[in-house]
Structure 1
Amino acid sequence: MREETAVPPVIDTHAHFVPAYFPAGSGRTPLWPAMEHRADGQAAIVIGGKPFRVLTPANWDVPARLAEMTAQGIDRQVLSPMPELLSHWFPADDADDLCRYMNDSLAAMIAAAPDRLSGIGMVPVQDPARATRRLAEIKALGLRGIELGSHVDGVALGDPRFDELYATAEDLDLCLMIHPLHPAGKDRLPGHPALAAAAAFPLDTALAGASLLSAGIPARFPRLRIMLCHGGGALPWILPRLDRVWSLGGPLGAVFPERPSAMARRFFYDSVVYDPVTLRYIADALGEDRIVIGSDFPFVIQQDQPGDFAAGVLPAAALSRAALAFLGLPAEHGG
């Protein structure tokens, strides 16, 4: 942790975790996750009977995570579930059980280092009424909000069935983190599965953002804080096109209740874009005060030294203020 209070803290808002173990999957969906720990200290997370990803101890071990955070120059990190664990495709009962276990595991990690860690949990959004009820538990655990996939098993995030969830999150002062998941277009990207994550994730985030804008979510829930991961994916680049549609008026213009780019400036965007020119464009288009530091830690694709990268483009103080604003945290939580 920085001792000089004048130095803005580096707050990494986009980092993931996986617990060391999961409850037994007997009697549950065949996709229930399990962990296979290895002699080298790593573990494979197994989903549907197949290894999904090999994980380092920093996913679940707080001292290991803190050591890596220090090496990466990160003062505070906001943990959220590995996206595949959001399980929007599970039966609702199984999803609810997994969500509650993940949230409890996350709260325990934060309790081990509350001056360095914060958290964003998960709820069973395939059952919007139940998910809405669970938001009070998220709040009671001290978590700052929830993570959502870019769609809920094919249902767009702008669908009216989620309105009550958004309204309750707004009332409870909880934020939403939108992460791409099971993107459209995978059938057109044959080959290594990583190609879908590299090429289709940004496109799916743009679809999610366009859905939220078309539904007028930023306008109808003005106090609801929403972050689109990976710099909003392709959304910043297609906003001029969406604005053009809106400006035409008539049936085309009615697709959006307000100018899309104006509504999009109410979202937050993380800095996981790897290229300073790209980050500068997003900040110019959507506002420096909407950009937060992110890393995608602790996965291979992570942005190294995320604070230095983002601060090479934007003022460090602005990045810190934006993170605290997104999380709804007072200044003293920054570092």
Structure 2
Amino acid sequence: MDVHSHVIPRGLLERYGSASEIGAGRYSVELWGIRVSGVPRGIFDLGARVRDMDSEDVAVQVLLPMVDPRAMSAKAARLVNDELRAEAAPHGERFVRFAVLPYGDPSAALEELDRAYRDLGVGGVLLWSDMAGVPPGSGALDAIYGRLEDYGIPAFVHPSLPADPRLSSHYMGVVAGAIGEDFVAVASVILGGVLDRFPRLRLIFPHGGGAAPVQVGRIRRAAEVRADCALRRDPLDYMRSMYFDSAVYSPEALRFLVQVVGMDRVLLGTDYPADIMEWRGMGARLEEAMGRAGLEAIGRRNPSRALGLSVS
């Protein structure tokens, strides 16, 4: 099971965006200000995506709509969630859809979450490290978190790429900026007391949590010396209540992540269809790094638990 993949609904591309083949089965696509290039057809064609999944024995994949959270009005969120449901339906249980929300409007976001869960059957919600200036540790999201606990579905907390001119070249936004935002998200949730208020909440962080596994001691030290960072528990205890995907791009980093948070908190995530994804041979690499037991845990058992699915 792959808990981290991105999608742009084909119907929305046809109505509001564009897609063009640039050679060798790679495409350039644009929708509502989101532009990606050099990606496979599976970015918008779920049939092609299923063929890619079959080639690597991926039984189930989480679909995270590729959107700009700043542009998600209530209308846009409904369009994305409705279209993705329609396009995924012919593929049965191969996909778990995560809903997008109008992040800048808490009331409308809660309303869309309720609709997406009750009417569309989404299996989770996509959140961000920056939602119109609101971090994931903010009390402004408590109503959302309460609903997620009630519904028993997780949130995937994706990094928002910072608008920093230093990150405009050499792919630095993805290489470094996103990893910093991952740490911001994890630290915000810990220091904001989210898991104290919502102990049953399931949160998934990509890229192994960015810098968080290495710098958890920094959070601990802040909690020791600053009143505004005081914690009820050790920050590592909170991290061991979270989930982290395996998209860290080296066996050494993956083994370190497992050492810090525990084998049962790590999930297979590929970042499909990003150009830097490690898709071909993913199972063999995971087994080589973590052994057969690690492949079973990270590739199947842990994702099933995080997503609330039965293991067959």
TM-score by length of 1: 0.83
User: Structure 2 vs 1, CA of residues 73 and 50 (structure 1 numbering), >3 Å: closer, same or farther?
Assistant: closer
* More helix by percentage: 2
What is aligned with 1:220? 197
**Matches of 1:306 and 1:149 in 2, distance apart?**
26
User: Structure 2 vs 1, CA of residues 239 and 310 (structure 1 numbering), >3 Å: closer, same or farther?
Assistant: same
**Matches of 1:301 and 1:149 in 2, distance apart?**
21
Following TM superposition, by how much is the alpha carbon of 1:52 offset from its aligned partner in structure 2, in angstroms? 4.5
What is aligned with 1:77? 61
User: Structure 2 vs 1, CA of residues 190 and 42 (structure 1 numbering), >3 Å: closer, same or farther?
Assistant: closer
Kindly indicate whether residue 14 of structure 2 is the aligned counterpart of residue 14 of structure 1.
Answer: no
User: Structure 2 vs 1, CA of residues 61 and 238 (structure 1 numbering), >3 Å: closer, same or farther?
Assistant: same
What is aligned with 1:180? 159
What is aligned with 1:35? 18
What is aligned with 2:69? 88
**Matches of 1:258 and 1:208 in 2, distance apart?**
18
One-letter code aligned to 2:90 = A
SS in 2 for 1:53: strand
**Matches of 1:50 and 1:263 in 2, distance apart?**
33
Trace 1:235-246 onto structure 2 (pairs within 5 A). 235-246=212-223
Q: Percent identity?
A: 29
Kindly indicate whether residue 265 of structure 2 is the aligned counterpart of residue 290 of structure 1.
Answer: yes
| Aligned counterpart in structure 2 of residue 61 of structure 1, from 37, 41, 45 | 45
Contact 2:99 2:113 in 1 (8 A): no
One-letter code aligned to 1:231 = G
SS in 1 for 2:247: coil
TM-score by length of 2: 0.89
User: Structure 2 vs 1, CA of residues 310 and 24 (structure 1 numbering), >3 Å: closer, same or farther?
Assistant: closer
One-letter code aligned to 2:6 = H
CA RMSD of aligned residues (A): 2.4
What is aligned with 1:7? none
**Matches of 2:150 and 2:124 in 1, distance apart?**
12
Kindly indicate whether residue 240 of structure 2 is the aligned counterpart of residue 281 of structure 1.
Answer: no
User: Structure 2 vs 1, CA of residues 103 and 284 (structure 1 numbering), >3 Å: closer, same or farther?
Assistant: same
Trace 1:144-163 onto structure 2 (pairs within 5 A). 144-163=123-142
Following TM superposition, by how much is the alpha carbon of 1:307 offset from its aligned partner in structure 2, in angstroms? 2.9
**Matches of 2:82 and 2:53 in 1, distance apart?**
22
What is aligned with 1:5? none
**Matches of 1:243 and 1:108 in 2, distance apart?**
45
**Matches of 1:250 and 1:109 in 2, distance apart?**
50
SS in 1 for 2:136: coil
More relative contact order, 1 or 2 (CA 8 Å, 6+ apart): 1
SS in 2 for 1:63: helix
Which runs of 5 or more residues in structure 2 are unaligned? none
One-letter code aligned to 1:136 = D
What is aligned with 2:236? 261
**Matches of 1:42 and 1:287 in 2, distance apart?**
37
SS in 2 for 1:257: coil
User: Structure 2 vs 1, CA of residues 76 and 154 (structure 1 numbering), >3 Å: closer, same or farther?
Assistant: same
Following TM superposition, by how much is the alpha carbon of 1:51 offset from its aligned partner in structure 2, in angstroms? 5.0
What is aligned with 2:206? 229
Which runs of 5 or more residues in structure 1 are unaligned? 1-10, 26-32
Following TM superposition, by how much is the alpha carbon of 1:176 offset from its aligned partner in structure 2, in angstroms? 0.4
| Aligned counterpart in structure 2 of residue 167 of structure 1, from 146, 154, 158 | 146
What is aligned with 2:276? 301
Moved more, 41-50 or 232-241: 41-50
**Matches of 2:212 and 2:36 in 1, distance apart?**
28
Trace 1:113-128 onto structure 2 (pairs within 5 A). 113-128=91-106
Contact 2:12 2:83 in 1 (8 A): no
Contact 1:148 1:177 in 2 (8 A): yes
